[in-house]
């Protein structure tokens, strides 16, 4: 795991507030980011570089546990 996801896991254990992951989120690591405790993501580069935003959103929604999008 990257330092960012390790830190998110640590913070997730300490607080009960929404955590938003910012920066470096890609198709390859989004599942790890969510598993680490992210309640939301900010992923400007992924959005700007995709060819079909609707398809990207549909795929990424599937990574959140049911009912938590």
Local confidence band at 4 (pLDDT 50, 70, 90 cut-offs): confident
Q: pTM for this structure?
A: 0.77
Q: Mean per-residue pLDDT for 56-65?
A: 87
Local confidence band at 68 (pLDDT 50, 70, 90 cut-offs): low
| Rounded Cα distance, 31 and 62, in Å | 9
Q: Which of 18, 47, 17, 11 is nearest to 30 (CA)?
A: 47
Q: Which of 4, 1, 39 is nearest to 19 (CA)?
A: 39
């Amino acid at each position: 795991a990257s330092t960012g996801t390790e830190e998110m896991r640590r913070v997730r254990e300490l607080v009960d507030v929404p955590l938003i992951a910012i920066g470096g989120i890609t198709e390859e690591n989004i599942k790890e980011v969510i598993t680490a405790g992210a309640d939301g993501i900010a992923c400007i580069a992924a959005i700007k570089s995709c060819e079909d935003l609707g398809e990207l959103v549909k795929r990424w929604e599937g990574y959140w546990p049911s009912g938590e999008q």
